[in-house]
Structure 1
């Protein structure tokens, strides 16, 4: 088994995927089998804390590495990588989620002081917004859940600003639809995990946010439907 010490760079993190032994400079050792942890008796508190930090680093590193690994397989072994994964112990949908996030962040944009989960929270945002929120999370030491709450609050405030003042008194045409040039309509969709991943991948390939992609698809579908109706 190998001795594993806390990594300082992403390059070093990539070398820590082998199950082995966690070790402190003081000599305390923890055996790490596949199914769990075997602690020595009377481990010092500081040692226990350090081991937790190392495990957290390993978890974040493995998500990045698995995402990079799947992206490479998709590009290099078309038609073969999916079958190979299905015969392994790896969950394909989980790997797809990892791969989607890793495609959003080149190596130089991945922040070592933040978890993979932090990056996943902002992955659907435009790149400048990704950097903004990750910088805030790093500076203020937000947890993933804190980052999520802050983003949701910001988006909610943004939606309120778009909605503007009450539409009471605005011109309305027949059927109760406003004649104002822009209307805000909130749509809630119940998608399966596979459907969500397919839509996110399509938006990613188009180079736009998920919201912009969904609006584009709705508009194109409506125009096609209306065009077909008019020809009948």
Structure 2
């Protein structure tokens, strides 16, 4: 009987007595391991490779999602920074406009005050009086309107004030001249009558330039009576005698 040569069979013991390193899939039949005769990696090894590839793919996907979220967050931050810059530019523009408008108002106010001062000087030269700003009955003095208690829709008018007073003359019906010193344009007709003694104003009246001077809080300025002017005392006509 011819002997079997097992030197070329897979898994045989070689000449050195070592088991061949080939891998074989085996099946258990009736409790005995049998090879299927096909060489290759085992099923467990293939499943491990698939698991590793799936894990690597999942890791790459998660990393991609994180990178995408980071990029979106960065874009949102850049957009927010851009909006903040635009808002800052708009605020700066509003501040510049407000400063320009305020400066324009200040320039217009200065022009009005300069014009008023020129008018005041012109009136002072023409009438030899000093003119001052007043608010109602209160003298305001010098300074800008922003520093004075001037309310909205309140008019500011110049009035003539002679600090040293003026001199006027009163001529009686008997051609007597009475000199009144230190009177002012704001002196009322009633005050003028009070300065004249020994005249019964129930029977006499004051006239100037053909007009009767009424003492209902009228002043010398109301009748344009100035320095050196002459007022006449005229008796009422008695129609019964």
Confirm or deny a common fold (TM above 0.5).
no
Larger helix proportion, structure 1 or 2? Answer: 1
Rg larger for: 2
Tell me the TM-score normalized by structure 2. 0.23
Tell me the TM-score normalized by structure 1. 0.24
